[in-house]
Every structure is written in C-alpha cells, then in structure tokens.
Chain A
C-alpha cells in the first residue's frame, strides 16, 4: 500500500472553475500535511501546509484536512491557466513522503 496516494490525472477544469485535488495517506500518526506545486521542468514549491483538522484558506487556495478519514484536499477557486501544473501532496510521519502528484490542466 502506497503511503501517500493521489490520482495522477490529468484533471481538466475550465478557467474560473474550482479545481479539487485529493490525497489520502496511510499513517495515522501523520502530523503535518503539505501541498506543493511543480511546473513542468521546474522544482516543487510550497503552496500551503496544514496541521489541524478543518479548512485553511490562503487567497484562492483552501486546504482541507480530515485526520479521521486520513484525507487531505486542496481546492483552487477561480482556476487560471497559470495554475496548470502538477500538485504534490506531502505528509510528514517520521519523514516527509510525497505522493505521485496530480496533473491539473486549466482550459482557457
């Protein structure tokens, strides 16, 4: 069983729509959860982190964490073509483990 699972996509959404990216993890003791964005040919960069159950908002981005269901998601409101990238979920349980990423395509 993979430790951090994501749908590889691609997830296609029209410009202006809400993109919803999901991630599940296997270690119940996981404490910290991260979303990184990686443009093609570039390095990952942090978008958000979340530690507590519930929602955390930052601009157009909202991270949602449900530890009981071992599930973390990222919502992107008013999606823009510049949001087209691969989104990596990362979970810290003794070490940070990355998911395989979901490729998001925002269609103009």
Chain B
C-alpha cells in the first residue's frame, strides 16, 4: 500500500501544453504539499493545503494552480508549460502544519520534461 502516490511518474510534453499531476495520500493526514526540485536538487515548496484550505502559496507563476477536492488529494495543474518548468515535482503530506505534526512523507515524484 503506497502511502503517498503520484501520477504520472514521467511526463514529457511540448512547450505551451497544459498538464496535470495528481497526488493521493492514504495516511489520514490533514496537510499536503507540492514541491519542485530542480536540476541542482533544491527542493522548493510551492503550495500547501490543510484540510482543503490553501495555507502556503509561494511565489510561483500563476500558470500553476493547485486544487484539493478533499484532504486526501492534491492536484497540480500547469498551463502553458515552459522549458524552465522541467523538474521533478514531489507531493508530500503531514499530519498537520504545527510542531509535532510536520514530519513529511513524500510521494515518488513526477519527472516533467518540457521540450
């Protein structure tokens, strides 16, 4: 049983396309996150939701739009893909955002390549 799953694992697409990445967790956690890890391995937070509410919204282009239909799911939609969007996108979840709850469990990652 995978705790945090993401689909697809690999995504190769052309510039200008729109794509979505899906994430699901079966840990019963309240908080979910999207991270971008670039070629230099820097893991940067993009968004966080707690119980379906957006609590962290870092400075990312508004071409990126998260959506949380319920607390077990957090999807990421990307419009008008650009070369610089190529990276590994990780979904993660934690019990909550507060101290003692914030240990994060990561999904396997989605490797996005924009051509």
Contacts and interface: CB of A to CB of B under 8 A. Distances in A.
A88 B43 contact: yes
B40 A46 contact: no
Contacts of A95: 45, 48, 56, 97
Contacts, number: 47
A42 B37 CA distance: 12
Interface in B21-67: 35, 40-45, 48, 56
A76 to B, nearest CB: 19
B102 A86 contact: no
Contact of A96 (B40, B45, B105, B109): B45
A43 B109 contact: yes
Contact of B43 (A32, A42, A44, A49): A44
Interface residues of A, number: 20
A101 B35 CA distance: 15
B103 A43 contact: no
Contacts of A100: 40-42
A34 B109 CA distance: 20
B56 A98 contact: no
A88 to B, nearest CB: 7
Which residue of B42, B43, B45, B103 has the most chain A CB atoms within 10 A of its CB atom?
A: B43
A98 B58 CA distance: 14
Interface in B80-115: 90, 97, 99-100, 102-109
Nearest to A40: B41
B104 A96 contact: yes
B103 A46 contact: yes
Nearest to B43: A98
12 contacts: A31-B99, A32-B100, A34-B103, A38-B41, A43-B106, A46-B104, A51-B99, A51-B100, A92-B102, A96-B45, A98-B35, A100-B42
Interface of B: 35, 40-45, 48, 56, 90, 97, 99-100, 102-109
